[in-house]
């Protein structure tokens, strides 16, 4: 006696490769991530992206103190294991220091990766 209906084995569905070379939507989304948008520096708070997973807050303090006075540096981590998510926020003393930090440190090689440094989005942008 069969478990499924008519006694015939279930038919396995095999997806055929696309002949035109196009990718499925999930493949395209996964491999072609859009780059983060550059945000104008209007506050002393900066976004630091493409950060090495080994980078610490003291590494960021040291790097950004070469440009101006750092008030705070926070590497964003996963709550369950405290591993870095690969980005951080740095609070400079003034907007002018933040603008100088973007000019000097954006695209700079740091711990093997080119940093992405821009203004941080304000809280009304991120409340979605």
Where do the domains of the chain lie, and which CATH numbers do they carry? 45-119 (3.30.70.330)
Residues in the chain: 128
Helix (H, G, I), strand (E, B) or coil at 98: helix
Q: How far is CA 42 from CA 21, 33, 53, 94, 121, in A?
A: 44, 26, 27, 10, 9
H or E stretch at 70: strand 70-77
Strand pairing category for 84-92 and 70-77: antiparallel
Tens of each residue's pLDDT in the chain, 128 residues? 555 556 666 665 555 555 555 555 544 444 455 556 678 899 999 999 999 999 999 999 999 999 999 999 999 999 999 999 999 999 999 999 999 999 999 999 999 999 999 999 876 444 44
């Amino acid at each position: 006696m069969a478990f499924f209906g008519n006694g015939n084995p279930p038919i396995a569905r095999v997806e055929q490769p696309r002949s035109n070379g196009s990718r499925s939507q999930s493949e395209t989304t996964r491999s072609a991530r859009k780059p983060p948008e550059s945000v104008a520096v209007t506050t002393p708070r900066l976004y630091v992206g493409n950060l090495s997973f080994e980078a610490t807050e003291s590494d960021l303090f040291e790097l950004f103190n070469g440009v101006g006075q750092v008030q705070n540096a926070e590497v964003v981590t996963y709550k369950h294991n405290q591993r870095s998510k690969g980005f951080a926020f740095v609070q400079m003393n003034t907007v002018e220091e933040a603008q100088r930090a973007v000019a000097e440190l954006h695209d700079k090689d740091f711990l093997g990766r080119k940093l992405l440094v821009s203004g941080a989005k304000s809280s009304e942008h991120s409340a979605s």
